[in-house]
Amino acid sequence: MPPDIAQAHLVLSWPLVEYALRKRDSYPLITFDAGFDPRDRKYPVKAKRGYHSTALTREEMDIPVVYSTIIPEMVIVNQKLHLWPIHLKNPNAWHTLRIIDVFRAIYDTYAQPLTPQELSHFGEDYIRRCQPAFAQRCQDSPQFTHIEERRGLLRIDLLRGRRIFKGLVPIPGRPLQWELLFDDGH
């Protein structure tokens, strides 16, 4: 890792920064429901422009994660889903990661069904409290509800309904690592 990157946290591009911290800069609110694949045309990452939300443009999807330098890799961690850190790495070290890579990696990591060992790790009581979020995600899905139900409880369901991307914040003392924050969308 180059010394300039190792010394300080880099400033993320606006779509990855919590809206409350950047709304005065006139950038739109980003909406991403991590329960659904951003590759699906029914659930794209959206930007609220005025009174309407529209899918990000190709140019917005291709915005680099950081403008000031090329970062070919990064790690994203959510406190409640810390068992599954998200490792992003561009196979071409001369190309930087894009914001769409971040949204796709979040979905890909948290859309995995829980294994029997993972279910056991969280315990029956907690899993039971996650059932309403699971049922809501199945109902919200672009798929038929029964198809989503057959997949079973996913990692994202452990957040109990908090599926809406809120932003990334740097983890102090850990260059190229960010904490992933979610909101419930209300």
Task: Give yes or no for a contact between 30 and 45, defined as CB atoms under 8 angstroms apart.
Answer: yes
76-102 burial, b for 16+ CB within 10 Å, e for fewer?
Answer: bbbeebeeeebebebeeeeebbbbbbb
What is the phi/psi pair of residue 113, to 5°? -65, 145
Reference 4, options 179, 175, 178, 177; nearest CA is: 175
Least trusted range by pLDDT, from 23-37, 76-90, 152-166, 167-181: 23-37
Token pair 């699971």: residue: 134
What is the phi/psi pair of residue 18, to 5°? -55, 130
| β 73-77/177-183 pair status | parallel
Per-residue model confidence as pLDDT tens digits over 73-91: 899 999 999 999 999 998 7
Q: Can you give the pLDDT at residue 1?
A: 47
Q: Can you give the pLDDT at residue 49?
A: 87
Number of H helices and E strands in the chain, helices first, is: 7, 7
Reference 159, options 43, 101, 78, 76; nearest CA is: 78
Instruction: Name 80's Cβ contacts closer than 8 Å, sequence gap at least 6.
Output: 158, 159
pTM value is 0.91
CA distance 145 to 132: 14
**Single-letter code of the amino acid located at 54:** T
Is residue 142's pLDDT more than 60?
Answer: yes
CA distance 71 to 63: 12
Q: Can you give the pLDDT at residue 13?
A: 92
Identify which has the larger pLDDT, 67 or 60.
60
Q: Can you give the pLDDT at residue 8?
A: 56
